[in-house]
Amino acid sequence: MRIADCGLRIQKTRSCLLTRNPQSAIRNLLVALLLITTFLSACGPRRTPNLERIFAGAREHKGKRPIIVIPGILGSRMVNRRTGEVVWPSVFRSDVDGLSLPTTPDLDANRDDLVASRIVETAKLAKIAPEVYVYHYLLRALEDYGGYREGDWDNPPEGGDRDTFYVFPYDWRRDNVESARLLVRRVEALKLRLGRPDLRFNIVAHSMGGLVARYAAMYGDRDLPPEGTEPKPDWRGASFVNKIFMFGTPNEGSMEAFATLLGGYSVTEGTRTRLRLFNKLSREDVMTAPSIFQLLPHRAEARFLDEHLRPLSLDLYDPAVWRRYHWSAANDPAFREAYARGEPHGLESPTRKGTLAELDAYFEVVLKRARRFHEALDALDNSVNARDASANAPDTSANATDALTSAPVKLYAFGGDCEETLSAPVVLRDEKRGRWLTLIRPKSLRASDGRRFERAEVLHAMFEPGDGRVTRASLLGLDLAGARASLFYATPLPVAYAAFTCDLHSDLQNNMLKKRAARFRFTHRLRNATAETLRRDPRGELCVAPKISLHRRSL
């Protein structure tokens, strides 16, 4: 198969591959080729490399740093602790307990009988439907190619401080700060059991799991600061986090979360027709989950357009805005009537009858909590030791190198950028029916002054390149404020490396690893990637290895 068939793109900045230092050139080339090999093995079904043979050395290499795997939203199995019933993944709604949480202003008290048991490897959502591989290939890749074994948090194996991965399932409905703090406690307990208080892990995180990992690294077991207090990360979590490998993590949020709050969860991505998962994860369900709100876009990613496709200034975290446009079930008149009667469709018994004042108070609190969560993750000016004067410092490669080198935890980003991904819904007035409409799907439209916009023009305005759920810009944090901390991209996130393919969001964690590449041998190979790819030439200019973006045509 020709490389052109795979859609390989190699974008160069000033390259160091041809340098006066041959050893540096070889190291840079090896890093680049390793990532290329990782992704090219999925370019087509006709010819695939014998990866077991290719990476026999990686599998047999001993002493690799341990790994923590953190799934994204929907990625942990939810079980009723009293009955043992698997509530998620399951196509049918439980008669006893569903996925809805109580909706009171006390978010910490909004609990039910569901607990996270383990990661979702495969899911069969209907008898006639094929089995869906969720995280199966990721875990098998770590074992078969990477030479890792799965460890038990409570009973780690002998030598569990190396060549071992630990899976962190969590209740993906609940507050992400709560999940991050739980992660910190489990890691600290594991280190005690292993007798390794100095042990640091590499984290492999998909989607929302990357936000959980970042918060844990930045704040450790600390809650969000009180309202009005500036978040200041102390990076205490760096005591156990070495590197974070993010797959499709929405560092600036995802407008798909907004679409989910409007109409419920869709199994399809991008511009495909939205398909609900039967009566699971309805808009009534998802509005009870604080984590969904914490996936909302923020800063420049929180864009809306008017009927002329011009920017519309809206505060996505103002409850009054949601009420005005009837966004989410909580602001739907029919739902509110049912809620007041104690008969809301889709909500389970823990919610029971509540007052509308209580519902509105919950909605205000959950939006405020989401905003604070974003502010905490965006507080990057204090995240790097050499940032004292960064606000007024010129945005140069040298400063970016210093910032990246001094970053307590470096990030490695992997995503998709071939799919049209919702970025800016259109809000317009339906004068005939006297109501507001919010478009999350592209279609031709006519403004109130008669001007017509074709579907292609609307699509171009509403969507950006991404993986169908998370835009490329959000993964890289391109619109975040702060001094540049990445050599390759204009982002304050300490992104040491990034690569992109044509995979959908739900396929990233498997298609980037399934039967390919050292099954995370790159976590070992990139141990010194920053030192190997960042070099200064004799003139004092910074030269870097190529930026790689690999595209595989969707089958």
What percentage of residues in the chain have a pLDDT greater than 70?
A: 73
pLDDT value for 511? 66
pLDDT value for 343? 73
Q: In whole angstroms, what is the distance from residue 126 CA to residue 223 CA?
A: 40
CB 295, CB 180: distance < 8 Å: no
pLDDT value for 504? 86
Encode pLDDT of 91-140 as tens digits: 666 666 678 999 999 999 999 999 999 999 877 655 545 556 678 888 98
CB 485, CB 493: distance < 8 Å: yes
The CA R_g of the chain, rounded to the nearest whole Å, is: 24
CB 138, CB 69: distance < 8 Å: yes
pLDDT value for 279? 64
pLDDT value for 34? 40
Under DSSP, the state recorded for 419 is E
Encode pLDDT of 363-399 as tens digits: 999 999 999 999 999 997 544 443 443 444 555 667 7
Least confident of 135-149, 216-230, 314-328, 365-379: 135-149
The amino acid sitting at 344 is P
pLDDT value for 386? 39
Is the pLDDT higher at 125 or at 405?
405
CB 500, CB 485: distance < 8 Å: no
User: With bands split at pLDDT 50, 70 and 90, how would you rate the model's confidence at 37?
Assistant: very low
The mean pLDDT value of the chain amounts to: 80
Neighbours of 11 (CB within 10 A): 10
pLDDT value for 128? 46
pLDDT value for 397? 66
Neighbours of 241 (CB within 10 A): 25
Encode pLDDT of 466-485 as tens digits: 999 999 999 999 999 888 88
pLDDT value for 523? 40
Range picked from 300-304, 306-310, 383-387 for highest mean pLDDT? 306-310
User: With bands split at pLDDT 50, 70 and 90, how would you rate the model's confidence at 547?
Assistant: very low
Is the pLDDT higher at 78 or at 146?
78
pLDDT value for 341? 84
The amino acid sitting at 130 is P
Average pLDDT over residues 300-328: 96
pTM above 0.85, yes or no: no
Query: Which residues have CB under 8 Å from 301's CB, separation 6+?
Result: 252, 253, 254, 255, 423, 471, 473, 474, 479
Q: Is the pLDDT of residue 25 over 70?
A: no
User: With bands split at pLDDT 50, 70 and 90, how would you rate the model's confidence at 400?
Assistant: confident
pLDDT value for 48? 56
Collapsing DSSP to helix, strand or coil, 283 comes out as helix
**DSSP H helical ranges for 325-355:** 333-341
The amino acid sitting at 226 is P
Least confident of 151-160, 298-307, 348-357: 348-357
Q: In whole angstroms, what is the distance from residue 499 CA to residue 509 CA?
A: 13
Least confident of 137-141, 258-262, 288-292, 389-393: 389-393
Q: In whole angstroms, what is the distance from residue 49 CA to residue 42 CA?
A: 10
Least confident of 63-77, 333-347, 510-524: 510-524
pLDDT value for 47? 54
Average pLDDT over residues 405-423: 94
Least confident of 3-17, 159-173, 174-188, 304-318: 3-17
Q: Is the pLDDT of residue 20 over 70?
A: no
pLDDT value for 27? 42
Q: Is the pLDDT of residue 303 over 90?
A: yes
User: With bands split at pLDDT 50, 70 and 90, how would you rate the model's confidence at 274?
Assistant: confident
Average pLDDT over residues 416-444: 94
Q: In whole angstroms, what is the distance from residue 325 CA to residue 341 CA?
A: 23
